[in-house]
């Protein structure tokens, strides 16, 4: 059983959904887990009874409010209508309140036939919050021929399995500062003595402590699959969601936890790469440290929803290494139809000289359930040896490797950025360069370098949207090639959305780990 940290004051229930029946409340032993911070599952169940045929012909409406207080939380609604042979029906509308106005977000009018059992009509809907918001569900039940009946309304909120969505990725990226400020923390006692060569920092992600994570940053290294978890307590992020430049306080800014792990399938796969996070789940690419042994690799998935990281499973890979990953959850409005209602994972092999796209399906009846890889495993849908076609601002699918600014060593860190309207972007980071690519599907219009638009000829095309060169904090010695991250602050407004990038140094110097905050 996976450890959970439950919402204070909420009902702690299982997240598994039954194959039959509207909602399985789960194993009651789930409630014995430690209550520590606000990541978890809450359920409400409200029966709506009606017996007057005249009252229900036009529809009886049940309205409920749900506070999705963190970007990436998923609300699921199930109803079972007891139609008693009279042909009753129900619909569920999920909307949101902004400035007092209710706007519909998604309507789903039926589920798998018979999921609620004989004599019932079932409806389900789900919605993932792109930013913190309050949503209102409106469930309508009708019995056109009259007759007594009832509607059982149930709602639940999934564990965080997604990050926030930006309103306009291109604009937010364009407003990104290009000069970093120094942020540092002390090397903890368990932190491996990195030498900057065979033992060096390779990846970094920032965690949102405001929703309950006990750490601010996770670092990966090239040594024994080491992950280092750090807190910055001397200064908390202000209204701009940035820590800002201050000297490190070794007593309050330090690594608190160091854990080492080999690959699950191959114990020699212990060179960890560029990290990615989806809500409370951490994705860590690992490959063998031996030179030339990158013909296999893994992506190991951790759950950070407990007191210590919980290694869940790995996604095995053959024929290529795994140097960096990016992940995003897309909803029903995804611009690329194949990505709708799916988690999308991109894995860069051999410094992203190759790109592999994976998907994990989800349906309105079920959450994406990143916590397991058995019922609906990750599926690789595209393997790409890529090259930049000079005629296009697009990556074409062919058999030669591509280079970044002529360097030939690709991207050391990747990120997938989802947009509220369903668009998807890929961010590539290396040295001091950040490249933003729009992910297009087959048949979508992509722009040539000449400005002419043509249809994407392959399953996916990457259209160059923007690029910038950044300056690290003075004296920091940080580079994206050592560790790079893109931290999303989603608010629902372009003017207040933020994309905060980080780059790290190669190894601690005089006991300090340095980051440039951009």
DSSP 401-459: ---STT-SS--SEEEEEEBTTS-EEEEEEETTEEEEEEEEETTSEEEBTTS-EEE--SS
Q: Distance between CA atoms of 410 and 433, rounded to whole angstroms? A: 11
Give the closest residue to 276 by CA, choosing from 163, 355, 381, 384. 163
User: From the centroid of its chain, how far is CA 280?
Assistant: 8
More confident residue, 85 or 103: 103
Can you give the C-alpha Rg of the chain in angstroms?
A: 24
The pTM (predicted TM-score) of the whole model is: 0.83
Which residues are within 8 A (CB) of 26 and not within 5 positions of it... i.e. 6 or more apart? 13, 14, 15, 16
pLDDT of 366-377, one tens digit each? 566 788 888 788
Residue 86 in this model has a pLDDT that exceeds 60: no
Range scoring the smallest mean pLDDT among 403-417, 429-443, 473-487: 403-417
| The predicted structure's pLDDT at residue 82 | 63
More confident residue, 62 or 352: 62
Give me the torsion for CA of 96, 101, 105, 109, rounded to 10°: 100
For residue 329, what are the β-bridge partners?
343
Q: Maximum Cα–Cα distance for the chain, whole Å?
A: 79
More confident residue, 172 or 26: 172
More confident residue, 480 or 26: 480
Query: H-type helices in 280-372, by residue range?
Result: none
Residue 231 in this model has a pLDDT that exceeds 60: yes
| The predicted structure's pLDDT at residue 271 | 80
Share of the chain above pLDDT 90, in %: 19
More confident residue, 388 or 191: 191
pLDDT of 247-287, one tens digit each? 778 788 888 887 777 667 667 777 888 999 999 999 999 88
Highest mean pLDDT among 300-309, 393-402, 495-504: 495-504
pLDDT of 3-32, one tens digit each? 333 332 222 222 222 222 222 222 322 222
Determine which helix (DSSP H) or strand (DSSP E) holds 172, and give its type and residue range: helix 169-174
Average per-residue pLDDT in the chain?
A: 74
Give the closest residue to 189 by CA, choosing from 215, 228, 156. 228
pLDDT of 174-227, one tens digit each? 998 899 988 888 876 555 555 555 567 888 999 988 877 889 999 888 777 788
Residue 415 in this model has a pLDDT that exceeds 80: yes
pLDDT of 87-128, one tens digit each? 566 778 888 877 777 888 876 655 555 556 665 667 777 888
Residue 505 in this model has a pLDDT that exceeds 70: yes
Range scoring the smallest mean pLDDT among 127-141, 287-301, 335-349, 504-518: 287-301
| The predicted structure's pLDDT at residue 11 | 21
End-to-end CA distance of the chain: 39
Share of the chain above pLDDT 70, in %: 67
Query: What average pLDDT score do residues 461-478 get?
Result: 87
Confidence of residue 328 (pLDDT cuts 50, 70, 90): very high
Range scoring the smallest mean pLDDT among 333-337, 429-433, 454-458: 454-458
């Amino acid at each position: 059983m996976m450890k959970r940290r439950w919402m204070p004051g909420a009902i702690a229930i299982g997240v598994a959904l039954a194959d039959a029946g509207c909602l399985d409340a789960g194993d009651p032993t789930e409630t014995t887990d430690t209550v520590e911070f606000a990541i978890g599952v809450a359920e409400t169940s409200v029966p709506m009874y009606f017996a007057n045929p005249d009252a229900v012909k036009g529809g009886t409406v049940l309205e409920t409010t749900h506070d999705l207080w963190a970007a990436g939380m998923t609300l699921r609604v199930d109803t079972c209508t007891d139609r008693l042979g009279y042909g009753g029906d129900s619909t569920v509308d999920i909307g949101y309140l902004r400035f007092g106005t209710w706007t519909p977000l998604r309507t789903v009018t039926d589920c798998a036939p018979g999921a609620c059992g004989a004599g019932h009509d079932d409806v389900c809907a789900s919605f993932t919050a792109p930013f913190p918001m309050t949503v209102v569900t409106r469930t309508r039940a009708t019995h056109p021929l009259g007759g007594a009946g009832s509607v059982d309304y149930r709602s639940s909120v999934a564990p965080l399995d997604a990050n926030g969505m930006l309103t306009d990725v291109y604009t937010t990226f364009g407003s990104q500062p290009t000069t970093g400020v120094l942020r540092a923390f002390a090397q903890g006692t368990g932190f491996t003595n990195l030498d900057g060569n065979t033992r060096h920092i390779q990846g970094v992600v920032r965690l949102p402590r405001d929703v309950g994570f006990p750490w601010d940053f996770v670092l990966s290294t090239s040594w024994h699959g080491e992950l280092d978890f750090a807190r910055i307590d001397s200064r908390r992020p202000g209204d701009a969601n940035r820590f800002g430049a201050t000297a490190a306080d070794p007593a309050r800014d330090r690594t608190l936890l160091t854990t080492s792990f080999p690959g699950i399938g191959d114990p020699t796969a212990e060179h960890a790469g560029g990290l990615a996070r989806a809500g409370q789940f951490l994705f860590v690419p690992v490959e063998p440290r031996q030179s030339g042994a990158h013909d296999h690799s893994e992506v190991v998935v951790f759950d950070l929803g407990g007191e210590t990281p919980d290694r869940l499973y790995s996604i095995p890979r053959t024929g290529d290494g795994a140097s960096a990953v990016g992940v995003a959850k897309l909803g029903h409005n995804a611009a690329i139809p194949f990505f709708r209602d799916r988690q999308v994972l991109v894995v860069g092999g051999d410094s992203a000289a190759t790109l592999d796209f994976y998907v994990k399906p989800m349906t309105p009846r079920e959450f994406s359930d990143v916590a397991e890889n058995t019922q609906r495993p990750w599926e690789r849908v595209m393997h790409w040896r890529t090259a930049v076609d000079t005629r296009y601002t697009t990556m074409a699918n062919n058999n030669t490797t591509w280079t970044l600014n002529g360097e030939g060593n690709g991207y050391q860190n990747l990120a997938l950025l989802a947009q509220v309207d369903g668009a998807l972007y890929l961010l590539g980071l290396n040295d001091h360069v950040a490249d933003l690519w729009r992910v297009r599907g087959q048949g979508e219009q992509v722009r040539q370098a000449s400005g002419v638009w043509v249809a994407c000829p392959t399953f996916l095309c990457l259209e160059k949207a923007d690029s910038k060169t950044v300056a690290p904090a003075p004296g920091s010695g940080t580079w994206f090639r050592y560790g790079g991250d893109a931290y999303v602050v989603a608010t629902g407004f372009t003017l207040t959305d933020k994309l905060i990038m980080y780059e790290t140094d190669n190894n601690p110097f005089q006991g300090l780990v340095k980051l440039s905050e951009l």
